[in-house]
Amino acid sequence: MAENETTQANALEAKTKIKGTITKTTIGGALVDLGEGQLPGVIHISQLQKEHLTSVEDAVEVGQEVEMWVRRAKKDRIELTMIEPLALEWREMKPEMTTKGKVERLETYGAFVDIGAERPGLVHVSEIAHGYIKDPSQIVKVGDEVDVMILEVNRRKKQIRLSMKATLPEPENAEPRRGQGGKRRGGKRKSVEAMMAELEGEEPKVPEHTAMEMAWQAALDRADAAKKDSGPKTEKKEKKDEAQAEILSRTLQERK
């Protein structure tokens, strides 16, 4: 008999909803008859209702049939609660987990969805659907049942970030988001600039000279001025100037 009782107790998983009859009340709680073959059930006073109780008799009485949920099954008893448990505890929620929920409230920045946790989760307007959405009311309304994916859970701040579009198939021929891939972003900006230049009739910009090219040009200008001032040069001097010019010219070509 003891083995059968243990087996039945273990079969009652946490959050299982069951019925029973109150057989005794005490200062700290109540004893419950769960039926033939079951271990006795125990409800602590703090688990009789959400509001604070000073007396167990204010919530239940002997002989009353009540609905309860299993908290945990032990070898000698089954701990129960009359407070409906959360469908999702904080420890149970993980990123990329999908679940169903009901839209509880709409704001301009997103929708709050009840997924059975302590707090509703937020689906930001950018996570409601693929493509641009100006306002959540374009897609959902209060009371709608929706599929969501958990993106992030912050138990300390009691915040849950959700996504609806993560549960939806990607639209065909969808363009990548702006900013994804440097090549696309750069290419698009360049093409826009080119079109604007064509519309405005701008001439292509001439590349700026390097510092060395500017110095070389200044040297040439000074040389031309010196020629005018000093009069005709000897053949030997001219050949020397030509050789220096050739060296500088090769240097510039190598640096380009």
Largest Cα–Cα separation, the chain: 131
What are the tokens at 141? 């309304």
Q: What is the pLDDT of residue 231?
A: 53
Q: What is the pLDDT of residue 211?
A: 59
Query: In b/e form, how buried is each residue of 242-255, taking b as 16+ CB within 10 angstroms?
Result: eeeeeeeeeeeeee
Q: What is the pLDDT of residue 215?
A: 64
Q: What is the pLDDT of residue 230?
A: 53
Q: What is the pLDDT of residue 217?
A: 67
Q: What is the pLDDT of residue 216?
A: 61
Handedness of CA 211, 214, 220, 223 (dihedral sign): negative
Q: What is the pLDDT of residue 232?
A: 54
Q: What is the pLDDT of residue 44?
A: 96
Q: What is the pLDDT of residue 204?
A: 46
Q: What is the pLDDT of residue 190?
A: 40
- Contact between 148 and 113 (Cβ < 8 Å): yes
Residues of the chain with pLDDT under 70: 1-11, 173-256
Q: What is the pLDDT of residue 1?
A: 41
